[in-house]
Structure 1
Amino acid sequence: MKNELLVVIGANAAGMSAASKLRRLDTKKKILVFEKGKHPSFSACGIPYLIGGEVKSAKNLIARTPEEFLLNQNIEVKIQHEVLEIDVSKKRILILSLLDKTEFWQKYDDLLIATGTSPISPKLPGIEAKGVFAFSSLESGKSADRYIQKHQPKTAVIIGGGYIGIEMAEALLHLGMKVSLIDMAPQVMATLDPDMSEIIAAYMKKEGVDLFLGQKLESLEMDDSRTVSVVVTDKKRIKADLVILGIGVKPNSKIAEAAGIQIGAGGAIQVNKKLETSAEHIWAAGDCAESYHLVSGKEIFISLGTVANKHGQIAGINISGGKAEFPGVVGTAITKFKDLEISRTGLSEKEANQEGMDYDVALIESSVFSSYLPDSEKITVKLLSEKASGRLLGGQIVGGKGAGKRIDVIAIALQAKMTARDLVFADLAYVPPLSGVWDPVQIAARQLVK
């Protein structure tokens, strides 16, 4: 007998992508989605740009409302409903309505866990102070935005030098704040190698960000109104009217683990290529689920909206009765700080060393487009290839406008298991205002085949 009800836990990228895909394939199956927050299907990646003023309203970050999902796709979305427990044997979930504080059980035929991630918040003195924010939802982004508009902070400290930290530094500079950034690592953007990170750090300093790297956060001090006033590290005291926590995220997998569902890489839910978990009729997709890394050959925890949406597509197909498989990831990511674009894919040197790989490295500096044209900006490209076979292992790019998205060429090369020589002779486009006759990624690849 065909299963008739899909219940989805989580109404963002993976959950709604799966629900929408299933609805296109099956117009009869009932789809019921439970979301803890107040908004389904919003762009978490847009929060720094909301705070920085580039996005004029939080409403612009919401793709669809529950009413629109019901009207246009016959998908029922219940917001402010938190799932507390999964009862695998009875195929039901326990739900808490955050609206009236009542609890109830909901049966399912198929279940998709798409619970995403939560920001890592260190248990330190003062972390509960007013003026301290981490972004776990659109509401948390709106709260920070309202706080900034009301209190007009002059000094901001960002904890963490990853993607959120970099993007928030730009946003707060744009608002006229004095910005400091603290990271326990000796570099910003720890997913890049130090030689590439140094370029970013130098640019950030030039633009007015004070960097305190290799420093451990110890506490936050508050004033009499319990508002944050000072950030204390193991080396320094830094004045702060506002603190942004960008330390990282962890997968929301506790309810799955408590239900006896197998947990895998990085605490994410273990899944196969069809996004099936260890429990029958239960799938997991998005940031809460692990992914297979095509270069390392290992399962990993990776939190990216691009991956979450693709997971959702695969899960939706398979819940409808299809046999789709998720091919894997290469860890492609991109960000920017003001006019500097930053991207990476595959393995860094640190990761290649951890995998015990024997590799060659190319590091080149070139121009984003033909250098004889005015305003041609610098681009630095780093490539890694396997020493024995020449197979590309990873790439990193830092440079001016037009640099960052070149990482996509390297990402495709990694997925296709291309060698450095293959990349040298790839038929890429050329016109002087957009590229040199040899694209910078090909110049780097040429170094590897000399």
Structure 2
Amino acid sequence: MPAKQRLLVIGGDAAGMSAASQARRLRSEDELEITAFERGHFSSYSACGIPYWVGGEVTDRRDLVARTPQEHRHRGIDLRMRTEVTAIDLDRQCVRTRDLDAPDLDERWHGFDQLVIATGAVPRRPDLPGIDAEGVHGVQDLDDGSALLDALDKERPRRAVVIGAGYIGVEMAEALRHRGLDVTVLEAAPEPMSTLDPDMGRLVRAAMNGMGIRTVTGARVTRIRTDDDGRVSAVATQDAEYPADLVVLGLGVRPRTELARAAGLPLGASGGLLTDFAMRVRGHDNIWAGGDCVEVHDLVSGRERYVPLGTHANKQGQIIGTNVGGGYAVFPGVVGTAVSKVCELEIARTGLLEAQARELGLRFVAVTVESTSRAGYYPGAAPLTVKMLAERRTGRLLGVQIVGREGAAKRVDIAAVALTAGMTVEQMTALDLGYAPPFSPVWDPVLVAARKAVAAVARG
């Protein structure tokens, strides 16, 4: 009988526990011993749901937890909470851990046959005077969400400043607005949502301002001011100062790969781990990685990108678990699809932006159309704007962005499928999409944009 294999997992959230759970489905406890280490207080939770918990749409923190540590243990996974991995020794095939709730205890070494690195990401925290002041919050995990809610409940702040207007920033701005705070968003770029082209980001800024969220662009933060007690009192930019009782960092995240770097594992330009399509770390047959700590293959550009999303993390964990468990699966890549909302405004993108297409040296056309979410005569029809990029010579679809009201965001899935399939905009015009007046105009806005892109390509 073959010897029992030892699988160690670093990280107890989406990628790590999906990998552990899938491996357990395929291999019994007699065949595979699975131990997972999580430095936080929660496992298998939805970080994407934190803004909606803070804003009050989700009322119970437990609703964000897909599977508790006890449930994982019941399924044969030895999940050790509040346990931080401090080193990876590739030569000895072991990791060193420490108990965060018992810091006086000696650190311990644990051997492995297979290792999964799912260390996730950390919020970007600029090196600014006052950045560590009381009242400044990053929002990445449930512990961060709990700390922010405690501050809202106990300190009753009136004025909030959100630094950064990416996905996290605009979602947290909405959450704080729902809480009744006076919210200002400061963004260094010319427009919010740098994941959109500036002309589409301008629509987001106008809508946010119209919803009572003050949005200041071109605002480079220089320091966070504090009062005599060391609490945040204002955020200063190069041009102005904005009073604040609470500051939320919405500057995005970076991969948490310090352990991997120290171990000599390969990292990409963004600092994320590099893997093959099976999610095996390049050059290491028994080391796997997934989730927000890895870079992924972009099917449109053909390059590696850092795209930290829970959808990818869960898929990658499944793939790792299948491969560790003796099966075969691959993660072919992504097209860069993401959706978000701020109040009633829905925001979506997939594929390349204009700047990315130029960086790749692509010749392209860009078209924009304005339409409605339903037939114009049907009650509730709301305006939406679609921007589409296509390769000039071939007509290959390169990217789509959509900004609008109800029904706007999920339309981007049409484009995501078309990008994955490598379709041209002309092929897209023949797509057999569902139609009824409550759901769409007779020509869906995405197909209207495709028709306009076909004409632009034909003009050369």
8 Å Cα contact 1:216/1:234 also seen in 2: yes
Cα distance between partner residues in 2 of 1:255 and 1:349: 35
Cα distance between partner residues in 2 of 1:236 and 1:274: 50
Counterpart in the other structure of 2:266: 262
Q: SS of 1:370's equivalent?
A: coil
Cα distance between partner residues in 2 of 1:80 and 1:3: 26
**Please, which of 34, 38, 55 is the counterpart of residue 37 of structure 2?**
34
Amino acid corresponding to residue 313 of structure 1 in structure 2: Q
The answer for unaligned runs of 5 or more in structure 1 is none
Counterpart in the other structure of 1:384: 389
Q: How does 1:341-356 map to 2 (within 5 A)?
A: 341-356=346-361
Q: How does 1:332-371 map to 2 (within 5 A)?
A: 332-371=337-376
**Please, which of 183, 190, 193 is the counterpart of residue 187 of structure 2?**
183
**What is the TM-score when the length of structure 1 is the normalising length?**
0.98
Cα distance between partner residues in 1 of 2:374 and 2:300: 30
8 Å Cα contact 2:429/2:447 also seen in 1: yes
Q: Does 1:62 align with 2:65?
A: yes
**Please, which of 183, 186, 206 is the counterpart of residue 210 of structure 2?**
206
Amino acid corresponding to residue 162 of structure 2 in structure 1: I
Cα distance between partner residues in 1 of 2:17 and 2:427: 38
**Please, which of 41, 53, 56 is the counterpart of residue 56 of structure 2?**
53
Counterpart in the other structure of 1:75: 77
Cα distance between partner residues in 2 of 1:57 and 1:142: 11
Q: SS of 1:153's equivalent?
A: coil
The offset of 1:2, in angstroms, is: 6.2
**Please, which of 288, 296, 302 is the counterpart of residue 291 of structure 1?**
296
**Please, which of 242, 247, 254 is the counterpart of residue 243 of structure 1?**
247
Q: SS of 2:40's equivalent?
A: coil
Counterpart in the other structure of 2:99: 97
8 Å Cα contact 2:374/2:380 also seen in 1: no
Q: SS of 1:443's equivalent?
A: helix
Q: SS of 1:265's equivalent?
A: coil
Q: Does 1:13 align with 2:14?
A: yes
Bigger Cα displacement from structure 2, 205-214 vs 410-419: 205-214
Q: SS of 2:270's equivalent?
A: helix
Amino acid corresponding to residue 21 of structure 2 in structure 1: S
Cα distance between partner residues in 1 of 2:291 and 2:54: 25
Amino acid corresponding to residue 10 of structure 1 in structure 2: G
Cα distance between partner residues in 1 of 2:27 and 2:418: 35
- Note the alpha carbon deviations across 1:146-191, whole angstroms, 9 max, x for none: 1101111110000000001110111111111111011111110001
Cα distance between partner residues in 2 of 1:3 and 1:162: 46
8 Å Cα contact 2:26/2:326 also seen in 1: no
The offset of 1:332, in angstroms, is: 0.4
The offset of 1:3, in angstroms, is: 5.9
The offset of 1:81, in angstroms, is: 0.4
- Note the alpha carbon deviations across 1:22-79, whole angstroms, 9 max, x for none: 11111231111100101111111111111111111222211111111111x2111101
Amino acid corresponding to residue 427 of structure 2 in structure 1: D
Q: Does 1:234 align with 2:241?
A: no
Runs of at least 4 residues off by over 4 Å: none
Query: Per the alignment, do residues 174 and 226 of structure 1 end up closer, same or farther by CA in structure 2, a change over 3 Å counting?
Result: same
Amino acid corresponding to residue 16 of structure 1 in structure 2: M
Query: Per the alignment, do residues 421 and 2 of structure 1 end up closer, same or farther by CA in structure 2, a change over 3 Å counting?
Result: farther
Q: SS of 2:134's equivalent?
A: coil
Cα distance between partner residues in 1 of 2:172 and 2:346: 15
Cα distance between partner residues in 1 of 2:172 and 2:268: 31
The answer for unaligned runs of 5 or more in structure 2 is 456-460
8 Å Cα contact 1:155/1:178 also seen in 2: yes
Counterpart in the other structure of 1:197: 201
Cα distance between partner residues in 2 of 1:200 and 1:295: 25
Amino acid corresponding to residue 41 of structure 2 in structure 1: K
**Please, which of 315, 320, 323 is the counterpart of residue 325 of structure 2?**
320
Amino acid corresponding to residue 81 of structure 1 in structure 2: T
Q: How does 1:349-428 map to 2 (within 5 A)?
A: 349-428=354-433
- Note the alpha carbon deviations across 1:169-225, whole angstroms, 9 max, x for none: 111111111110111111100010011111110010111111221121111111122
Q: Does 1:112 align with 2:112?
A: no
8 Å Cα contact 1:220/1:232 also seen in 2: yes
8 Å Cα contact 1:14/1:311 also seen in 2: yes
Bigger Cα displacement from structure 2, 302-311 vs 21-30: 21-30
8 Å Cα contact 1:187/1:213 also seen in 2: yes
- Note the alpha carbon deviations across 1:289-316, whole angstroms, 9 max, x for none: 1100000000111111111111111111
**What is the TM-score when the length of structure 2 is the normalising length?**
0.96
